[in-house]
Amino acid sequence: MVPSGLPATLTAASSVDKVSMRLVTRLTIAFLTVVILMLALHEFRQLDEARADFERDMDRTHYLVATTLADSVELLIPREGVEAARKIVEQTGARHDSDVRIRWVCLEGQLDAPPAPVDCSTLSEPQTTTRTNANGEIRRFTLAPVRIADTTHGAIEVSEPPAHEGDWVRQHFNATLLLALMTAGGMALAAFVLGWWLVARRTRALMEKARAVGRGELEPDLTLPGQDELSQLAGEMNAMCRHLGAARESTARETAARIAAVEQLRRADRLAGVGRLASGLAHELGTPLNVIEARAGLIVEDTDASTPVQSSARIIIQCTEQVTKLVRQLLDYARPRKLEQQVFSLDRLAQTVTELVDPLATRRHVALKVETSATVLTQGDEGLLQQALTNVVVNALHACSEGGHVKVNTSVVHAREKKWSTVSVTDDGVGMSDEVRARLLEPFFTTKAVGEGTGLGLPITASILEDHGGFLGVESAPGRGSTLTLHLPFVP
Ligand SMILES: Nc1ncnc2c1ncn2[C@@H]1O[C@H](COP(=O)(O)OP(=O)(O)OP(=O)(O)O)[C@@H](O)[C@H]1O
Ligand SMILES: [Mg+2]
């Protein structure tokens, strides 16, 4: 659980650390176990060999002592008798370590002569054997026969419990155990440090990258130098990031295209609705409007100019014209257009439109000018595009207060992965709020007073551009003016 107050990234980083150190610890333990097992096996074999060496050494020493003493006794008996020889053996035995026992066994005629662990009568050569007595005491015996002229006079016995061997083995074992522990400790430390450097540190980088990918950060920026598996994994992760990035971009493009298609369908649907309404209205209103206008005209003709009847008749004519204009605009917006395809200069179009709307600019005291650099060509219906541009320029003039500026200029730009011939209208007027911008192409959306705007100007412009395969670009900020750009097919 993440403790409250602790930043999530810190907690994530420390859990990454723990995970990678767990791996290193496991590797170290596995490595250590293998090293200890191998050392133990080696030591076991060494110990076995050392024990065999020790036994061989002990047997050789016992053999030398026993045979030398037996030879001495054989020489002494004829000259000084058995008793003297026995004393020599006893003195030799007394001089030695209490664990090493040297005695003359199976001596015939000597009642107190100790029994031998083997049958002396059959003993012709020195013999070595191990025996356990009734008390469970283990001894290693070496017996050298004493022979004088084919007669056996017992044997010289040298024996020693293998306890000394145990001491020696224990010392050897302790020394090698210490060495083994130091070696294993050193190796464990080395394995841990190397494991951290080569595995934990780099695994952490990989895990952090995986988390970043999970958060949607797809920069292929993971670098793990080297040629090993982890470096290759880093390369694969970078490749994966590149693929995911490309897939994300294409998904975003597809989604945008789908949204645009849906939007177009909705617009087409709306157009169809408005079209039906418009043709219905045109049909139903056309005749009465004509009648009203004609009758009002008759009243104007038949009355005196100073009378209120004539001024009322003129107002009726004006209103009728307004309604007729609205019906015509509706029809313009909704009617399927037949485009005339011709190549023409956008600069010429800009010039024509500005000349047409110049009286309005003069009336509103707004400076209107055209800026063209090189000839920009496009293909389409010049008449319809003139209508589209006029709507935009008139809007710009309406947006400016007295002393404002409206600039029309043409250029070739790159947008939506291709070249466009454009004509832009820039004003330093009121600008648009986000809400106005969002609703700009909605039919009947207007901020103008009732009777001053129908809210059909820009929808008609956008629909004409769409018919040409183009689109309307809008840049605007409240109080900072606007730039509306008509994007049209580029003709080189
Ligand atoms: N250059 C501009 N600066 C600020 N607002 C603008 C600009 N051009 C358009 N608008 C806003 O967009 C609205 C819709 O414009 P549109 O041309 O479609 O309709 P309208 O001008 O209101 O009426 P009409 O049908 O007579 O053109 C306008 O009412 C205005 O609020
Ligand atoms: Mg308008």
Shared domain for 31 and 158, answered yes or no, is yes
Q: What are phi and psi of 113, to 5 degrees?
A: -65, 130
Residue 227 has pLDDT above 70, yes or no: yes
Shared domain for 129 and 255, answered yes or no, is no
443 within ligand 1 shell (Cβ under 6 A) = no
Shared domain for 359 and 444, answered yes or no, is yes
In this prediction, residue 3 carries a pLDDT of 41
Average predicted confidence (pLDDT) for the chain: 85
Q: What percent of the chain has pLDDT over 70?
A: 92
Asked whether residue 481 is domain-assigned, the answer is yes
What's the domain count of the chain? 3
219-228, 294-303, 423-432: least confident range: 219-228
Closest CA to 427 of 357, 488, 487: 357
Shared domain for 276 and 375, answered yes or no, is no
Mind listing the pLDDT tens digit for each residue in 31-65? 888 888 888 888 788 878 877 888 888 889 999 99
Q: Distance, CA 41 to ligand 2 centroid (Å)?
A: 96
Shared domain for 332 and 386, answered yes or no, is no
Mind listing the pLDDT tens digit for each residue in 187-200? 888 888 888 888 88
Mean pLDDT for 180-185 is 84
Which residue's alpha carbon is at the smallest distance from atom 20 of ligand 1? 455
Whole-angstrom distance, CA of residue 428 vs CA of residue 382: 27
11-25, 26-40, 196-210: least confident range: 11-25
Shared domain for 318 and 345, answered yes or no, is no
Structural domain ending residue among the three candidates 274, 301, 336: 336
Shared domain for 374 and 332, answered yes or no, is no
Structural domain ending residue among the three candidates 281, 313, 336: 336
In this prediction, residue 11 carries a pLDDT of 52
Shared domain for 301 and 420, answered yes or no, is no
Helices 201-214 and 229-302 cross at an angle (nearest 10°) of 20
Shared domain for 152 and 255, answered yes or no, is no
Q: Distance, CA 273 to ligand 1 centroid (Å)?
A: 22
Predicted confidence band of residue 172 (pLDDT cuts 50, 70, 90): confident
Asked whether residue 201 is domain-assigned, the answer is no
Ligand nearest to the CA of 484: 1
Asked whether residue 167 is domain-assigned, the answer is yes
Structural domain ending residue among the three candidates 307, 336, 365: 336
Contacts of 250 (CB under 8 A, 6+ apart): none
Shared domain for 321 and 366, answered yes or no, is no
Whether 278 and 331 have beta carbons less than 8 Å apart is answered as yes
Q: Which domain holds residue 263?
A: 222-336
Shared domain for 131 and 277, answered yes or no, is no
Predicted confidence band of residue 324 (pLDDT cuts 50, 70, 90): confident
Mean pLDDT for 4-11 is 46
Q: Which of the listed residues 329, 360, 395 should we mutate to test ligand 1's pocket, taking the one with most ligand atoms within 8 A of CB?
A: 395
Asked whether residue 209 is domain-assigned, the answer is no
Asked whether residue 293 is domain-assigned, the answer is yes
Q: Which of the listed residues 446, 463, 474 should we mutate to test ligand 1's pocket, taking the one with most ligand atoms within 8 A of CB?
A: 446
Atom of ligand 1 nearest to the CA of 392: 8
In this prediction, residue 2 carries a pLDDT of 38
Asked whether residue 29 is domain-assigned, the answer is yes
What's 258's domain CATH number? 1.10.287
Strands 151-160 and 367-371: unpaired
Shared domain for 265 and 357, answered yes or no, is no
Listing from the earlier edge strand, what are the strands of the sheet with 418-427?
367-371, 405-415, 418-427, 482-489, 471-476
Q: Distance, CA 269 to ligand 1 centroid (Å)?
A: 22
Whether 430 and 479 have beta carbons less than 8 Å apart is answered as yes
Mean pLDDT for 426-435 is 95
Angle at 390 between CA 389 and CA 394, to 5 degrees: 120
Closest CA to 471 of 484, 455, 482: 484
Asked whether residue 196 is domain-assigned, the answer is no
Asked whether residue 406 is domain-assigned, the answer is yes
250-259, 283-292, 352-361, 477-486: least confident range: 283-292
In this prediction, residue 52 carries a pLDDT of 82
In this prediction, residue 165 carries a pLDDT of 65
Mean pLDDT for 124-143 is 86
What's 38's domain CATH number? 3.30.450.20
What's 343's domain CATH number? 3.30.565.10
Ligand nearest to the CA of 447: 1
436 within ligand 1 shell (Cβ under 6 A) = yes
In this prediction, residue 24 carries a pLDDT of 76
Mean pLDDT for 106-110 is 65
Predicted confidence band of residue 6 (pLDDT cuts 50, 70, 90): very low
Q: Distance, CA 461 to ligand 2 centroid (Å)?
A: 9
The tokens of 69 are what? Answer: 């003493």
